Chain A
Amino acid sequence: QPVLTQPPSASASLGASVTLTCSLSSGYSAFEVVWIQQRPGKGPRFVMRVGPGGIVGSKGDDIPDRFSVLGSGLNRYLAIKNIQEEDESDYHCGTEHGSAKVFGGGTKLTVL
């Protein structure tokens, strides 16, 4: 089954931009990935789904236009522009193999 790899942490200054990476293991370049935001002390929230060609379907409810995704090779990216304080969260990526779900370790985004 696929393995998803995420860097444990990232940081960006208020108003800056950041790109978070989720890497699929070899052989899974056609797979889609879901990005999930989890604010401190809150439940997970769907951001959007991304495949090798970019966004799949629609963004989650109330996800700002500042959020976008890109797919390239084995990597699935979540880009955030004009970072705000409320973007400080853990960002998880997940995929599926059959109907079983697999998650990366998550990236903690700190807003400086």
Chain B
Amino acid sequence: QVQLQESGPGLVKPSETLALTCGVSGVSIGSDYWNWIRQSPGKGLEWVGNIYYSGNFRQNPSLTSRVTISVDASKNQCSLKLDSVTAADTALYFCASGNLDLWGQGILVTVSS
């Protein structure tokens, strides 16, 4: 059974970097591409970016080049970094498979001093 599990700090200070990891089990991370998606409190889903096994990643242009996504094949995981966070980046962050047919449970990240 394929499972995705997000992990990382639940609290980040303004202007610092948010760093999250998505652990993939049950399938090789090289078998698909992987998305990061977030949901601000009471809002809809917002695509953050995605990454292919090759290392090429795309980000939502609205995030003004603050996003870095990487893959660690040895650990079967992908990672998200979001620089210079503000309160507007407070959200539930999910990782999901390329076609959105598999999702993690999500992790709540709050940006606050």
Contacts and interface: CB of A to CB of B under 8 A. Distances in A.
Nearest to A58: B101
Interface of B: 33, 35, 37, 44-47, 50, 58, 60, 94, 96, 98-106
A59 to B, nearest CB: 10
Interface in A94-112: 94, 98-106
A46 interface: yes
Given A34-B100, A99-B58, A101-B50, 15 more contacts: A34-B99, A43-B104, A43-B105, A43-B106, A44-B106, A45-B103, A46-B100, A60-B101, A94-B45, A94-B47, A99-B50, A100-B47, A101-B47, A103-B47, A106-B44
A42 B103 CA distance: 11
Interface size class of A (residues with CB under 8 A): 20 to 34
A92 interface: yes
A49 B99 contact: yes
Contacts of B106: 43-44
B58 to A, nearest CB: 6
A24 interface: no
A36 B50 contact: no
B96 A99 contact: no
A44 B37 CA distance: 11
